[in-house]
């Protein structure tokens, strides 16, 4: 008996990349930092919110790489002259990745009260039903 995977099932044509995306997402190894929310703000838009307390805009970078939204944070080394009796606020670098579907575009990003908001929008095709004409083969 042969095991069929998602990308090789005969009724799912052209979905090979979906299986690779699922594997890549599973391997991303996000450790839960920083925490985030994903909300749907309308039928075709979303918002990702990351809790980035202690980071300023200059410490963060947002890029889209191969249909993947990547948010990186790295704080400067300004702790050299400080003596901490307790350090409970994380000041480590991070990388958080989100796989984007085809047709999802990254809009603007904004910082507010230690939260980084990233707006996304999805393009919905106008005409979903498409009629295909049958060409007559000439012999």
Same domain, 41 and 4: no
Q: Is residue 90 part of a domain?
A: yes
Look up residue 89 and give its two tokens.
Answer: 């606020």
Indicate the average pLDDT of the chain. 84
The CATH number that applies at residue 112 is: 2.60.40.790
Same domain, 93 and 52: yes
- 26: containing domain: 1-30
Over residues 11-19, mean pLDDT: 73
More confident residue, 45 or 139: 45
Q: Above 90 in pLDDT, residue 25?
A: no
**DSSP codes, 73-135:** E------TT---S---S----EEEEEE--TTEEEEEEEEETTEEEEEEEE---S------PPP
98 or 7, higher pLDDT: 98
Tell me: do 42 and 100 sit in the same domain. Answer: yes
Q: Residue 51's pLDDT is what?
A: 95
Q: Which of 43-52, 78-87, 89-98, 105-114 has the lowest mean pLDDT?
A: 78-87
Report H helices in the chain.
16-26
pLDDT band (50, 70, 90) for residue 90: low
Task: Let me know: does 108 contact 119? Beta carbons within 8 Å.
Answer: yes
User: What number is the average pLDDT over the span 95-111?
Assistant: 93
Position 35 pLDDT exceeds 80: yes
**According to the model, what pLDDT value does residue 55 have?**
92
Give yes or no for residue 44 having a pLDDT over 90.
yes
pLDDT in tens, 50-88: 999 889 999 999 999 988 999 999 987 766 788 889 988
């Amino acid at each position: 008996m042969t095991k069929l995977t998602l990308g090789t099932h005969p009724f799912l044509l052209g979905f090979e990349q979906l299986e690779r995306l699922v594997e890549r997402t599973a391997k991303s190894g996000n450790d839960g930092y920083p925490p985030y929310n994903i909300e749907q703000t309308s039928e075709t838009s979303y918002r990702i919110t990351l809790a980035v307390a202690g980071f300023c805009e200059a410490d963060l970078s947002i890029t889209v790489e191969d249909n993947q939204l990547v948010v990186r944070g790295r704080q400067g080394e300004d702790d050299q002259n400080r003596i901490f009796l307790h350090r409970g606020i994380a000041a480590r670098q991070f990388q958080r990745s989100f796989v984007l579907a085809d047709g999802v575009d990254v809009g603007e990003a904004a910082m507010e009260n230690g939260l980084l908001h990233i707006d996304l929008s999805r393009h919905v095709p106008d005409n979903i039903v498409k009629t295909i004409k049958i060409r007559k083969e000439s012999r």
